[in-house]
Chain A
Amino acid sequence: MIARPPLRVVALIAAPAALALGACSGATTSDAASGTSGGAITVTATDTTCEVSRTEAPAGRVEFTVTNTGSKVNEFYVYAEGDRILGEVENIAPGLTRTFHVELAEPGTYETACKPGMVGDGIRAPFTITGEAAAPRSDDENLTAATTEYQRYVASQADAFLAGTSEFVALVKAGKVDEAKALYPTARSSWERIEPVAESFGDLDPKIDGRAEVEAEGMEFTGFHRLERDLWETGLQPDSAAMADRLLADVTELVTRAKAVELNPLQLANGSKALLDEIATGKITGEEERYSHTDLWDFEANVEGSTAAIAALRPYLATADPALVATIDERGKALSDLLETYREGDGFVLYTDLTPQDVKKLTTALDAFSEPVATVAGVVARG
């Protein structure tokens, strides 16, 4: 094992604590002096009551000092509509006092709650924020830039997808089976990199990427996987060339539409997660490429696409949650390094060459990467 620089270790340890406090609230034990104007609002919590000294405050930072005089472990929450937590302090043992603050910038009605015993809805009371709303936050420049950058990425992949598909289609039509088989996994890579965007066109997706089971839904089996079957299983069929033409027409249509898509930052974040979900449900199982067994090509392309979306969001995330970026980087590298061990020539070993232990190793590394990536949307939504 190579020793890591100590700084990085420190950053990693600090991460969970920072996350636990949330974006806009923080808790301390009572010995920290409270200096908010108007003073902290005191809360006296018992096993059956929750006395809040004031139920109104001007917009801005509001500080609460919560004392548990009951016999059960207690918690105190500030909720927005829909029980969304704006701030909380947990694990207040009997006899303990804890102070925390929460940013309540929007005038309106909120709810406070003590939760004796840590379970149930708690003892609720309305809480009002008065005065002027804090100036609306302007769109974060980094987020705007992220969508622009990612749309450029989608456009470039879409172009590459059309080029690759054209070449593949030409080989199929020329009956060059071996060359078509060699190109098949890489022609699909661009699709796999932008799969969530591509799949958002519900009418085109099954035509391009459907499996044999679409016939059970009364559809014709067309697209890449139909040609995959022809090339690997049945040999080229009388209608293979016609299928190739249809594939090219569908992909052309898809590329036009994909390049016109307008995305918001949240869609980038969710798309990044969706690509990893694709691996977990389709590639790691060997389901997607059931005739060619080239699933690891798709695996790599999905990871690359996911990483590209994160990369576009990176300037924003680097400020909003640097610890998360560090975790994503570390685990993304671990996953890529592991995938690299399955490389063979220009591509990868076939799925059928993987042992159950190999699949487990890949699954473990994918799980590790997917967990932090899944939290990106929550960070972006705060922006």
Chain B
Amino acid sequence: MSGSTRRAVIASGAGAAVAGAAAGLAYAARPSAAAASPAAGGGGAGADAGIVAFRGERQAGITTAAQDRLHLVALDVVTDDPDRLRDLLTRWTRAAERMTYGAEAAPGGVVGGGPWKVPEDTGEALDLAPGHLTVTIGYGPTLFDERFGLADRRPEALRDLPAFRGDDLDPATSGGDIVIQACSDDPQVAVHAVRNLVRLGFGVVAVRWSQLGFGRTSSTSRSQATPRNMFGFKDGTANITAEDAAALDEHVWVAPEDVAGTAEWLAGGTYLVARRIRMHIEVWDRTPLMEQEQVFGRDKRVGAPLGGTDEFEEPDFTRLGTDGMPRIPATSHIQLAHHSRLGGVRILRRGYNFTDGTDGQGHLDAGLFFIAFMRDAHRQFVPMQRALARADALNEYVEHTGSALFACPPGLGPDDDWGSQLFS
């Protein structure tokens, strides 16, 4: 990155902080919303009124301190008219930006149209705080087929993930032309955002699948504590954080040289890998503690690597137990997924716990909705998942039931929108 670019980033960052603080005044003046301010998931900027800047060098919702709630939707484009698609992307930009301010999807969208018009905003987020809403967009490999004249703009690395051992993927909950990830401290705010964007898209896109997540499973900022997954463990402790710019540049952001030529639109963007990982909760729950800890390679109470005492200490894979066996088993999740075992490969994890009710047999349909951002899924996620699929002791308790890969463009400048960004 050149010096001038970095300065520009710092300057725009400062501007965002000022805008955020100013917005705080307006927010405080709204009596109906004052009580709803959530303490959790802060952007690390103190009193920010719950507004995460929509525009900037990167899209929000990637290094943004992980909010607690997720509504992610994958859509298929149902028109073959590129102008319709581009127009929708432009309209989505406007509505998404408005909603991140806590505003209606359109001016006066709830009642301003008068009694005879269909309201342009569905209304369930009216008077709610913005809740650090972020709306992040990405494009799947199928969007770059022959339909929209985008074939030569497909980044080389935007191609289907290979099959992995043990996969049980449902095509109906995998893939998709477009993804929209909405995250917020408030589930109603996230659902409202997706609902209103989907609504704008009828006739142009149709929902392929969607996923709600009720609790973050990763920290993307050092200011956040590591949360627990549905197995009760702290996982992803070694995540890349927003504060680690060098690691982000190396492992998360697509560099211009990665996409030289007609795929340059993705420079500064990233890839999103989504995996719906169903957990066999009931089987796990009747597993003794020692086995659970050996599966993860971590202590359950504090999250320290086995044999260690602190969650954030580096795992020592050479340490032996009193039985002469490695303290952290070679098949443990922590060892197989560790960057030292993967040639230095790292990813930015940003997943969510989910429960989709029960499965009809009286068992929880629950698990981890794995989301991770990276510079090249085929060089990062694929070797990592191959290693896990081959040997991870956790495989006995989990099943991958959905999978998708999307390319997320970089952030938007003041006058850009998603349509112009993708098509010109």
**Is A bound to B?**
yes
Interface of A with B (CB < 8 Å)? 1, 4, 9, 12-13, 16, 20, 47-48, 70-73, 75, 77, 79-80, 82-85, 88, 90-91, 93, 116-120, 266, 327, 331, 360, 364, 367-372, 374-375, 377-378, 380-381
A-B contact sample (14 more), CB < 8 A, given A47-B25, A119-B30, A377-B117: A1-B80, A16-B91, A48-B25, A82-B115, A84-B114, A85-B114, A88-B112, A90-B98, A117-B101, A118-B103, A367-B202, A368-B78, A370-B202, A381-B116
Residues of B near A47 (CB, < 8 A) are 22, 25-26
20 residue pairs of the A-B complex, CB under 8 angstroms, read A12-B81, A47-B26, A71-B19, A72-B23, A80-B114, A84-B112, A84-B115, A88-B108, A93-B414, A119-B102, A119-B103, A120-B30, A120-B33, A327-B203, A368-B202, A368-B203, A372-B203, A377-B118, A378-B114, A381-B116
Contacts of A372 in B (CB 8 A): 203
Q: List the 10 shortest-distance A-B pairs measured between CB atoms, nearest first.
A: A381-B116, A368-B203, A378-B117, A117-B26, A85-B112, A118-B103, A84-B114, A85-B108, A364-B206, A120-B30
Number of interface residues of B (CB under 8 A): 39
Q: Is the CB of B19 within 8 A of A85?
A: no
User: In the assembled complex, how far is the CB of residue A338 from the closest CB belonging to chain B, in whole angstroms?
Assistant: 11
A309 → chain B closest CB, angstroms: 16
B22 & A73 in contact (Cβ 8 Å cutoff): no
Contact B26 A367, beta carbon cutoff 8 Å: no
Q: A85 CA to B104 CA in the complex, in Å?
A: 14
From A80, A84, A116, residue with most partner B Cβ within 10 Å? A84
Q: Which residues of B contact A93 (CB under 8 A)?
A: 414
> Quick check: is B84 within 8 A (CB to CB) of the other chain?
yes
CA distance A42 to B95 in the complex (A): 28
The 8 A CB mask of B26-66 against A (1 = contact, 0 = none) is 11011001000000000000000000000000000000000
Report the separation of the CA atoms of residues A371 and B118 in the bound assembly, to the nearest whole angstrom. 9
Q: Shortest distance in angstroms between A6's beta carbon and chain B's nearest beta carbon? A: 10
Question: How near does chain B come to A376, taking the closest CB pair, in angstroms?
Answer: 10
In angstroms, how far is the closest chain A Cβ from the Cβ of B33? 8
Q: B113 contacts the other chain (Cβ, under 8 Å)?
A: yes
Residues of chain B with a CB closer than 8 A to A374's CB: 118
Chain A at the B interface: mostly helix, strand, loop or mixed?
Answer: helix
Instruction: Report yes or no: B27 in contact with A119, Cβ–Cβ below 8 A.
Output: yes
Task: Say if the beta carbon of B87 comes within 8 Å of chain A.
Answer: yes
Q: Does B18 contact A (CB under 8 A)?
A: yes
Closest to B206 in A: A364
| Nearest chain A CB to B298 CB, angstrom units | 41
Q: Is the CB of A331 within 8 A of B116?
A: no
In the complex, the number of residue pairs spanning A and B with C-beta atoms less than 8 Å apart equals 113
A327 and B81 CA atoms in complex are apart in Å by: 13
What's the least CB distance linking B246 to chain A, in Å? 33
List, in ascending order, chain B residues with CB within 8 A of A73's CB.
101
Select the residue from B98, B111, B117, B118 with max chain A CB neighbours within 10 A: B117
Nearest Cβ in chain B — how far from A102, in angstroms?
A: 13
B249 at the interface (CB under 8 A from A): no
CB neighbours of B26 from chain A (8 A): 47, 72, 116-117, 119-120
Chain B residues with CB under 8 Å of A91's CB are 94
Cβ of A380 and Cβ of B83 under 8 Å apart?
no
Q: In the complex, A381 Cα to B83 Cα: how many Å?
A: 30
Q: Are B18 and A380 in contact (CB under 8 A)?
A: no
Determine the distance from Cα of A365 to Cα of B41 in the docked complex, in whole angstroms.
39
Task: Say yes or no: is B321 at the interface (Cβ < 8 Å to chain A).
Answer: no
A78 to B46, CA, bound (A): 35
Q: Decide yes or no whether B107 CB sits under 8 A from chain A.
A: yes
Chain A residues, Cβ within 8 Å of B112: 77, 79, 83-85, 88
- Tell whether, in the assembled complex, residue A88 and residue B117 are in contact, meaning their CB atoms are under 8 Å apart: no
B21 closest partner in A (C-beta): A71
Contacts known (A47-B26, A367-B203); A84 close to B87, Cβ less than 8 A: no
**Closest Cβ neighbor of B25 among chain A residues:** A47
In the complex, what distance in Å separates the CA atom of A174 from the CA atom of B341? 82
* B202: chain A residues within 8 A (beta carbon): 367-368, 370-371
CB-CB under 8 A for A84 and B22, given A9-B81, A118-B98, A118-B101: no
List B163-204 residues whose CB lies under 8 Å from chain A: 199, 202-204
On whether A380 and B116 interact (CB within 8 A), knowing A16-B87, A83-B111, A119-B102, the answer reads yes
> Is B114 a contact of A364 with CB atoms below 8 Å?
no
Contacts of B414 in A (CB 8 A): 93
Chain B residues lying within 8 Å of A327, measured Cβ to Cβ, are 203
In contact, B23 and A117 (Cβ under 8 angstroms): yes
How far apart are the CA atoms of A80 and B106 in the complex, in Å? 18
Q: Which residues of B contact A367 (CB under 8 A)?
A: 202-203, 206
B113–A85 CB distance below 8 A: yes
Q: Is the CB of A82 within 8 A of B22?
A: no
Q: Report Cα–Cα, A91/B55, bound state, in Å.
A: 14
**CA gap between A80 and B115 in the complex, in Å:** 12
Give Cα A1–Cα B112 distance, bound, in whole angstroms: 40
How distant is the Cα of A367 from the Cα of B113 in the complex, in angstroms? 22
Instruction: State A364–B202 Cα separation when bound (angstroms).
Output: 8
Residue of A nearest to B100 (CB): A118
Q: Which residues of A contact B84 (CB under 8 A)?
A: 12
Closest residue of B by beta carbon distance from A370 = B202
Query: What residues on B are CB-neighbors of A85 within 8 Å?
Result: 107-108, 112-114
The reply to whether B113 and A378 form a contact with Cβ atoms under 8 Å apart is: yes
Nearest A residue (CB) for B78:
A364
Min distance, Cβ B103 to any Cβ of chain A, angstroms: 4
B47 to A: closest C-beta gap in Å: 14
Which A residues are in CB contact (< 8 Å) with B113?
Answer: 84-85, 378
Q: Which residues of B contact A70 (CB under 8 A)?
A: 22
Q: Given that A16-B87, A47-B22 are known contacts, is A266 also in contact with B111, CB under 8 Å in the complex?
A: no
Given A84-B113, A371-B203, A120 and B29 contact (CB-CB distance below 8 Å): yes
| Most chain B CB within a 10 A radius of its CB, from A80, A266, A368 | A368
Report the Cα distance A79→B203, complex, angstroms.
32
For residue A368, which residue of chain B has the nearest CB?
A: B203
Given A84-B114, A381-B117, residue A72 in contact with residue B19 (CB < 8 A): yes
CA distance A149 to B329 in the complex (A): 80
Q: Give min CB distance, B12 to chain A, whole Å.
A: 14
Contacts of B114 in A (CB 8 A): 80, 82, 84-85, 378, 381
CB atoms of A119 and B116 under 8 A apart: no
**A42 to B19 alpha-carbon distance, docked (Å):** 25
B192 to chain A, nearest CB (A): 14
Chain A residue numbers with a CB within 8 Å of B117 are 375, 377-378, 381
Residues of chain A lying within 8 A (CB to CB) of residue B203: 327, 331, 367-369, 371-372
In the bound assembly, the distance between CA atoms of A73 and B204 in angstroms comes to 30
Residues of A within 8 A of B199 (CB): 371
Q: How far is the CA of A236 from the CA of B396 in the complex (A)?
A: 57
A83 and B82 alpha carbons, distance in the complex (Å): 37
CA distance A119 to B22 in the complex (A): 13
Q: Which of B204-233 contact A (CB under 8 A)?
A: 204, 206
Q: Closest CB-CB distance, B55 to chain A, in whole Å?
A: 11
Residue-by-residue, is B139-150 near A (CB-CB < 8 Å gives 1, otherwise 0)?
Answer: 000000000000
**For residue B90, which residue of chain A has the nearest CB?**
A16
| Chain A contacts for B22, CB-based, 8 A | 47, 70-72, 117
The answer for the CA separation of A56 and B300 in the assembled complex, in Å, is: 70
Residues of A within 8 A of B118 (CB): 374-375, 377-378
